[in-house]
Every structure is written in structure tokens, then in C-alpha cells.
Amino acid sequence: MQLAGPNAALCLTRVSGTLQNRSACPSRPRATPWVLRKPRQQRRVLSAAAAGGRGQRADRYANTAPPSPASQAAAGVPAEPSVLSSREYLLRLVPLQQFPVVGVSFEGRQEVIPQLQKGQAVAFVREPENPHDPHAVAVRTLDDRGLGYIARDKTAQFMQDLCFGAVGSFGQQADTGLWGLSVLVQPTVPPVEVYALPASLRQFANLAPHLGPAAAPALESLKAAALAAAGSRCAVTSARQAAAVERWGWDGERRVMRLLGFRAEAPEVQQIGGLLELEPSAAAGPTVLLQQLNCWTAADVELYLQHVRQLRQQRGGGELWRLDLGLLSAFGIPVPPSLQPLCV
């Protein structure tokens, strides 16, 4: 895989250990993870310089400029890894874990589990308002049918309010006749998701145009801090091209859309987040990318989008939603008078 910048000639190879420069390895290892290795041309330069007797050959290679982004593009070589390859690399770094699902005998879950398929995508949803356990993590199908919960002593591993995994195995116990299942998930990996924005607040998903010029410097400072904390990489895919965008949470009972913070996201991830706002002709590409980034099947995508559309419809009816911009106030960013009637 070709990389851009002054080290454009660096490429990846598999050796034992972690990311390091190949020139630091005294011998050629024979094992596994990915590390950076100088390509053959640069190795010739180094070996010739070390030998001291092949200066002309070394000079000839040393004066050869690395390929420019324009020449790489003309040759069909991307200057940066794609958002898909970056996500795939991120997923390879995080171990896949298996968890048994508990509470499978309640609330009609015994009727749902036999309908599952091995490898079917499922969602893991944190329930901070659960009266029995504020750290509870529910396991649900992509169309929002309950399957059970992650055991209480395992929920600390789930760092996201939402993440996706898959059915590992399921079956019926011989002695009790109850159905049980286990699930596979990388609980620290952020999900690629579609947002069901309330229709009345859809225009405020991007706050910058509504806060006015007085708040612009402070808002940009918050976004810059979020981008720097992510190393200027997308928090969802690890792709290099990213921008800080608002992260929203929803309180369905109070009908409040709360600003949670800012997160670095690649343009493709942002487009998937607003998938429901796109025309059908423009939604085809992001829909396919949603399937690829989450390692889903076409059936998984269909179930998920069906649920998100229903959720958006539910949020569009009844009382109007309001904004909770307390985070801005905490950082001294004033809320303009035009927004104050919409805020809690």
C-alpha cells in the first residue's frame, strides 16, 4: 500500500512486533503484524552508501525523486488509503470478542432467537436510564427486536453508546428447552450509523450557520481540539481526511436533541450519517459503503434502514423537539436569541 508525503516510498510488510522502520531490523523476520519497510530502491541506496564503494549507483538512486501525487493518480495509485481500506485495517487491529447473551427468557425473546441466522448483524445499545443497571448494554436486532443483555461484569468493555456485531452461535438447551445465543463484537470500535434526525431540528445538525459570527472562533476552537485529539484522522474509520462535526444524542421521553460533543469524521462517514436526507439516486453509493464498512449483508442494511426510517417518523410526530446546547454554555459560547426559544 503506497503512502503519501515525504515518506511516500514507504510500504507495508508483515513482520513480528509493531509498526517500525524496516531499516531498524537487523535481520528479516518471518512472522505476522504490519510494519513499515523501505522498498527495494531505497534499500539499494542505503546498502551502497554503507559499502562505500558504489557511490555512483547510490547517487543515481538518491537523486531519484519520489513519485508525486499527480503521477500516482495518473498511474491509478491512490495518494491515501481509501476510507474502506482504513476501516478494514482498524478492524484488524481490534480483537473480536465473544459474549454470551443473558436474560434471553424474558419479554418474548424466546420467539425471536430461533429466527436468527449465524453471522446476522446485531446492535449493542447502552441503556443509561435502565432502572436495574445504568451501565446495561442491550443486544438487539437491527430492526430493534430485543435479544437480551451483555452480562453486568462485561459491560465496562463497551465504550460506545452504540456498536454493531454479529450472532456467533445459538441453540436450544436439551434440559430446559430454552434458546440461548452468543454474539461476536469489537466493543471499542465506533459504529458507522445513519442518523434519524427529528424533522423540526434537522436544519440545526450543523450549528455553525445558526450561532452567528460572534461564536465562530470559539466553536472552531472546539472543533480543532476534537480533530487534534483524533490525530486528524476519522474516529470511525481512521482515514486521514476528516473534519470535526457535531455529535448528537436523543432523549425520546423529553423530546430533546442534546449536543454531546464533536467528533472527527471522514466525508464519506458524514454522508452516510445523513443518508435519509439524500435523494434515492444519490443514496445508492453511501448505502453500499454502509454495508461494506460495517461488514453487513444486503439484508442487514435493509433491516437497519427500515428501523431508522421508522425512528425518524416517530420523532417527527407529536410535540416539537428542543435543543440542549448546555455544552456550548459550559465553554462560554453564547446561544443567540434566535435559538433560545428552541432550547431547554
CA distances from 283 to 81, 126, 243 (A): 23, 29, 21
Q: Which residues contact 154 (CB under 8 A, 6 or more apart)?
A: 99
96-185 fold: Alpha-Beta Plaits (3.30.70)
pTM over the 0.85 mark: no
Locate cell 462485561: which residue?
154
Phi/psi-derived region of residue 302, left when phi > 0, alpha when psi is between -120 and 50, beta in every other case = alpha
pLDDT per residue as tens digits for the range 59-108: 333 344 444 545 544 544 445 679 999 999 999 999 999 999 999 999 99
Q: What residue segments make up the domains of the chain, in order of their start?
A: 11-79, 96-185, 199-342
DSSP, residue by residue, 151-191:
-GGGGGG--SSEEEEEEEEEEE-TTT--EEEEEEE-TTSPP
Phi (first) and psi of residue 257, to 5 degrees: -105, 115
Distance, CA of 79 to CA of 175 (rounded, Å): 59
Q: What is the separation, in whole angstroms, between the first and last Cα of the chain?
A: 50
310, 321, 328: which is closest to 201 by C-alpha?
Answer: 321
pLDDT per residue as tens digits for the range 172-226: 998 889 999 999 999 999 999 999 998 889 899 999 999 988 899 999 999 999 9
- Burial class from Cβ neighbours inside 10 Å (0-12, 13-18, 19+) for residue 80 reads middle
